[in-house]
Amino acid sequence: MRINRALRLGIGVAALALAAATTAGCGSSEKKSALDHAKGGKLTIGIKFDQPGLGLRNKDGSYSGFDVEVARYVAGKLGVKPDGITFKESPSPQRETLIENGQVDYIVATYSISDQRKEKVDFAGPYYIAGQSLLVRADNATINGPDDLKGKKVCSVKGSTPAQNLQKNFPDTQLQTNDTYSLCLEGLKAGSWDAVSTDDIILAGYAAQSAGSFKVVGKPFTTENYGIGLKKGDKELRDKVNDAVEAMIADGSWKKAFDQTVGASGYQAPTPPKVVRY
Ligand code: GLU
């Protein structure tokens, strides 16, 4: 019967359309990997926006710092030109989540490799080894190391390894945590805190910018291996990023990048670390 045939045809067309829509929907909603993004010439990379010498968003909207240079070099090795990179601010407490949710392809942001973080993300590197230290106002003569922090108001950042270390190993410190180190700096200037604690290389950048208002004191008292944070389980990506870090060290770009960024304020480049493939 004619009606029946028309009906069947109609159903057939609708089913086909539905199948096509489902396939298309699937393709577009499926999360692409960092290497897929790189193949398309684009990467979103997490960095800090407020750490001079390391990861800084300048007033003109450009980005500078050692982490930025590492991020760009790695992108280049993955086939992505500097203009294909979108930098995304990645404050310390948000880094694992940004990677897990696929909001960034990788993170180069003074990010210490730790067992706790390795439960959620993977790391390539290390590409630098820092150590926790203390920043005080230039006229402070009483704080010279972590043992002088008893009863002192110290600012660090939520979820950072230095904050965790103070909490655990120096519990008499009055620790206050913020989302960013620049907020800690404001409080140090205003007299709300006695010290700011994080990695030596970060504090050196702030001291250099402070025109003599702040100084870094004491010796570094932890080891912070800076890694490039990656989506957990993407071995191909991790191998490629590790290759890129090794190449950056071997061809002299690592030293050049360091000297032009952190080194510009007189900080000496240490011997670069060896990449650890776990
Ligand atoms: N390297 C430390 C960390 O990853 C401190 C620096 C930072 O917060 O970015 O927690």
Q: What are the two backbone dihedrals, phi and then psi, of residue 159, each rounded to the nearest 5 degrees?
A: 75, 5
At which residue do the structure tokens 């230290």 appear? 133
To the nearest whole number, what is the mean pLDDT of the chain?
92
Beta bridge partners of 134: 197, 217
Tokens of 92: 């310390």
Least confident of 15-24, 54-63, 100-109, 137-146: 15-24
Separation of alpha carbons 54 and 66, rounded Å:
5
Both structure tokens of 126: 């290390």
Q: In percent, how much of the chain has pLDDT > 90?
A: 87
Distance 169 CA to ligand 1 centre (A): 17
133 CB near ligand 1 (under 6 Å)? no
What percent helix, strand, coil does the chain show, rounded to 5? 45, 25, 35
* Per-residue pLDDT reduced to its tens digit, 233-255: 999 999 999 999 999 999 999 99
Task: Outline which parts of the chain fall under CATH 3.40.190.10.
Answer: 34-129+226-265, 132-217
Index of the ligand 1 atom closest to the CA of residue 163: 10
Q: How far apart are CA 125 and CA 225, in angstroms?
A: 8
- What CA–CA distance (Å, rounded) separates 71 from 79? 12
- Residue in the structure block whose two tokens are 């948000």: 94
Predicted pLDDT of residue 23:
44
The domain 132-217 having CATH identifier 1.20.210.10: the answer here is: no
pLDDT at 199 over 60: yes
Residues near 118 by Cβ (< 8 Å), separated by ≥ 6?
A: none
Give the number of the atom of ligand 1 that is nearest the alpha carbon of residue 48: 9
198 lines ligand 1 (CB under 6 A): yes
pTM: 0.89
Task: Please tell me if the CB atom of residue 199 comes closer than 6 angstroms to any atom of ligand 1.
Answer: yes
pLDDT at 170 over 70: yes
CA 193 to CA 210: how far, in whole Å?
Answer: 16
- Which CATH code, of 3.40.190.10, 3.90.1300.10, 3.30.930.10, 2.40.340.10, is assigned to 34-129+226-265? 3.40.190.10
